[in-house]
Amino acid sequence: MSLEPELNKPVAKKPITKRFQRFALIGYIGLLVLMPIWLFLIAPREGHSNAFIFVVYILPLLLPLKGIIQDKPYTYAWANFIVMFYFIHGFTLLWVAQEQLIWVLLELTFASLMFIGCTYYARHRGQELGLKIRKLKEELAEEKAAHEHDK
């Protein structure tokens, strides 16, 4: 009988972690449903092909799908880079397409939920799993100590 902890034992999620994951998923699924319905059915973009609309507005949302399904905190973290595009899109349309205000507000709401949820889910889940990104200050101190030791 070994006294070492099991390496593959799943780590339970705290309620706050689950709440932020729900926010992230609501925002993500909301955008994943909203964007094709809005851009292909409700208000098709004139002068753009369906392939262009898919590649620019839908495909980026599919990139983190596998990692989100597999519940990887790192995927939640980098998905925030993708959601920034939807903030920019939404805020731009607030200015230039006020006739689509309801859809723009939905996009901004889902993007906000996804951003907040992904940010804090990645943080809390990473802490629960013992993952951490080393601070640059710590790395520089170690490099300096190693360099001084070599002299």
Question: For residues 125 and 107, is the Cβ–Cβ distance under 8 A?
Answer: no
| Rounded distance between C-alpha atoms, residue 83 and residue 94, angstroms | 17
When pLDDT is averaged across residues 20-26 and rounded to a whole number, the result is 96
When pLDDT is averaged across residues 7-30 and rounded to a whole number, the result is 89
At 35-74, the pLDDT tens digits run: 999 999 998 878 888 899 999 999 999 999 999 999 999 9
- For the four alpha carbons of 108, 114, 117 and 118, in that order, the dihedral sign comes to negative
State what percent of residues in the chain have pLDDT above 70.
Answer: 88
- Tell me the residue type at 140: L
| Rounded distance between C-alpha atoms, residue 79 and residue 40, angstroms | 24
Please spell the DSSP secondary structure of 14-49, one letter per residue. PHHHHHHHHHHHHHHHHHHHHHHIIIIIISPPTTS-
Give the residue from 74, 82, 78 showing the smallest Cα distance to 58. Answer: 82
- Tell me the residue type at 73: P
pTM over 0.75: yes
In total, the chain counts a number of residues equal to 151
